[in-house]
Amino acid sequence: MAKPGPDQIRALRAENPKARARDFAAQHGITEADLVAAFVGQSATAIVADPDRLMPWAVRLGEVMALTRNESCVHERVGSYLDYRTGAFASMILGPEIDLRIFGKHWVHAFALEEQGEDGPKRSIQVFDAAGDAVHKIHLKPQSNHALWPDLIANMRLPGQSPALDLSPRRPVEAARGDSAAAPALRTAWDRMTDTHQFIGMTKDQGMNRLGAYRVAGAPYAERLQPEAVTHTLTRAAEAQIPVMIFVGNLGCIQIHGGPIEKIVPMGPWINVMDPRFNLHLRADHLAEVYAVWKPTRTGDVLSVEGFAADGELILQIFGYRKDTPAEPWNALVRGLPRLEEVLA
């Protein structure tokens, strides 16, 4: 079936205006970017996607809601975009509430969107990758600097304003790459790490990727957990008031929550964190492999809980919050999580 064009997309949306954008797009065989672009010239304006130009405007917007997601998890954080640092490979927002790692080569299409809501205009900046999948969204709140909106559009507007997009095929998720014969060399290299940021380079040197290395390394490096371990982690961290860092990302952006979590709300297949300034929505039924991971650093051991989808996509990572926080409550929580072999035995 041919993909609907902009006119047809708008007509279909008029028939179903309340469906979530991602669900609507999937239902009609389009991308979220196709849906937003169909309204260019009406409620949407195509703008420059380059984070070096876009982030300074985000900083000036004041308090907003930042949203980053993948197929299985949505990470939403209220705060301000502060301390933008550009970089050749990755750029960063390093505010106390909004904390981002930005991979600019995947910021390909961007739009300023203004929709009419029950309580007035709903404004957002939405960024997509080359395939039309959402990379990052900035939703203005009532307290945001709405007076800046016209200047933002005037300065960031693209010369060409087309309701149709030229998209690339979606890049498949890389399958696990591991080599059991190389396990001794992997463990030796793992023992020599002094910083968690060395991990990806170390696995690459061994001809593996993250999931492949976890499958090969074995205890104490990476221990397979029951899928329910992620829900246990969130629930126990909230109950014991153990602050955590929760990383959720996609090709173009990783968004990080650092601090306590409080209200855990299961809802069907979803497990949700519903705090006043931080929300997490996780499809727990998408967790195919979960690991407790140990990494040595010069400042002490680091333990994490990491969940992967059936296709090998990294869904989320949860670490203990290390800033002025003792490590042992978090480490004890991770050590107490249900291992997979406890079920298989």
- For 80-107, the pLDDT digits (tens) are 999 999 998 999 999 999 999 999 999 9
Distance CA 6, CA 61 (A): 30
Position 324 confidence tier, pLDDT thresholds 50, 70, 90: confident
Residue 345: what pLDDT?
A: 37
Distance CA 180, CA 215 (A): 9
pLDDT above 90: residue 323: no
* Burial of residue 199, with CB atoms counted within 10 A of its CB: 0-12 exposed, 13-18 middle, 19 or more buried: middle
Position 344 confidence tier, pLDDT thresholds 50, 70, 90: very low
Span of 84-93, 110-119, 255-264 with lowest mean pLDDT: 110-119
Residue that the structure tokens 């196709």 belong to: 34
- For 2-19, the pLDDT digits (tens) are 789 999 999 999 999 989
Position 74 confidence tier, pLDDT thresholds 50, 70, 90: very high
Neighbours of 338 (CB within 10 A): 14
Position 258 confidence tier, pLDDT thresholds 50, 70, 90: very high
pLDDT above 90: residue 294: yes
| % of the chain exceeding 70 in pLDDT | 99
pTM for the model stands at: 0.95
